[in-house]
């Protein structure tokens, strides 16, 4: 579904990503874990066409290495950015409808909206409430719901648990699993390695711009190196 080969990203003289290669199979959850500055967010931004890069990126068999962000989104590959980036002065409904800006099938959009409300009943309850008045967990639901409004086949999520209380972190990862159960493929960047590895089918560990470990989520949870570095021993 999504394949990255030898991805390199430079910020001036800083070599942020060094020959990063990852594979995200259709219908799976794949996670990237690592410390701050490891290159996790840069990987997502490069795939989304937001930073200049070298290397190859294939989505559903098509080479999108040089595509602009609008074309990548239209192809079904959507980024939920770090910090959620909802529009706080717009209502929940207006935020969601902005996620469907690339579509012109009115009946289909209404059907997708109903599907999103089914996944997130609290968004339906708060449809006319300003986005900025929602709790952190509800804003994460809104950010994910907005992404789903474009009917993507791959969603990339950057630090979905950032700044959330432990109870809300659990809820967000339950939502991620529920979205995946609907057939959506997910590439997840997350500092909460324990939560990410528990939900992921496959995982990669990034250190200073390089992939240093990979394996199933359960295998990395049991790996002593991962436990010591990211799971508190």
Q: pLDDT digit string (tens) for 19-36?
A: 999 999 999 999 999 988
* Sheet of 185-189, strands arranged across: 77-80, 154-158, 185-189, 29-33, 202-207, 210-216
- Number of domain units in the chain: 1
Is 146 a domain residue?
no
pLDDT at 137 over 90: no
pLDDT at 130 over 90: yes
What six digits make up the tokens of 4? 């990255």
pLDDT classification of 129: cutoffs 50, 70, 90:
very high
| CATH number reported for the structural domain that contains residue 65 in this entry | 3.40.50.300
C-alpha 63/C-alpha 224 separation (Å) is: 37
Is 110 a domain residue?
no
pLDDT classification of 232: cutoffs 50, 70, 90:
low
Helix (H) or strand (E) holding 195: helix 193-199
Domain with 200 in it: 2-85+152-230
Q: What is the pLDDT of residue 233?
A: 53
What mean pLDDT comes out for the span 105-134? 93
Is 119 a domain residue?
no
What mean pLDDT comes out for the span 187-194? 90
C-alpha 66/C-alpha 33 separation (Å) is: 26
How much is the mean pLDDT over the chain?
A: 91
Give me the DSSP letters along 213-232. Answer: EEEEHHHHHT-HHHHHHHS-
3-state secondary structure of 25: coil
Is 198 a domain residue?
yes
Q: What is the pLDDT of residue 162?
A: 82
Give me the DSSP letters along 88-142. Answer: TTSBHHHHHHHTTTT---HHHHHHHHHHHHHH-HHHHHTTTSBGGGS-HHHHHHH
Helix (H) or strand (E) holding 144: helix 136-148
What mean pLDDT comes out for the span 156-182? 86
Instruction: Tell me the whole-structure pTM to 2 decimals.
Output: 0.90
Helix (H) or strand (E) holding 3: strand 2-11
What six digits make up the tokens of 195? 């939560």
Helix (H) or strand (E) holding 32: strand 29-33
pLDDT at 81 over 90: no
pLDDT at 230 over 80: no
């Amino acid at each position: 579904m999504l394949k990255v080969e030898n991805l390199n990203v430079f910020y001036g003289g800083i070599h942020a990503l060094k020959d990063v290669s990852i594979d995200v199979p259709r219908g799976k959850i794949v996670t990237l874990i690592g410390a701050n500055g490891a290159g996790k967010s840069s990987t997502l931004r490069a795939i989304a066409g937001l930073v200049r890069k070298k290397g190859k990126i294939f989505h559903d068999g098509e080479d999108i290495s040089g595509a602009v962000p609008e074309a990548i989104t239209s192809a079904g590959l959507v980024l939920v950015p770090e910090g959620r980036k909802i529009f706080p002065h717009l209502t929940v409904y207006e935020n969601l409808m902005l996620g469907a800006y690339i579509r012109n099938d009115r009946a289909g959009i209404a059907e997708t909206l109903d599907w999103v409300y089914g996944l997130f009943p609290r968004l339906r309850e708060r449809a006319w409430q300003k986005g900025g008045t929602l709790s952190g967990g509800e804003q994460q639901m809104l950010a994910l719901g907005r992404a789903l409004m474009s009917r993507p086949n791959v969603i990339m999520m950057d630090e979905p648990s950032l700044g959330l209380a432990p109870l809300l972190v659990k809820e967000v990862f339950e939502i991620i699993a529920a979205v995946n159960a609907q057939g959506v493929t997910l590439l997840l960047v997350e500092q909460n390695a324990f939560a990410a590895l528990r939900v992921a089918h496959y995982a990669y560990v990034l250190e200073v711009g390089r992939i240093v470990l990979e394996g199933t989520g359960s295998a990395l949870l049991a790996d002593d190196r991962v436990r010591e570095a990211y799971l508190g021993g």
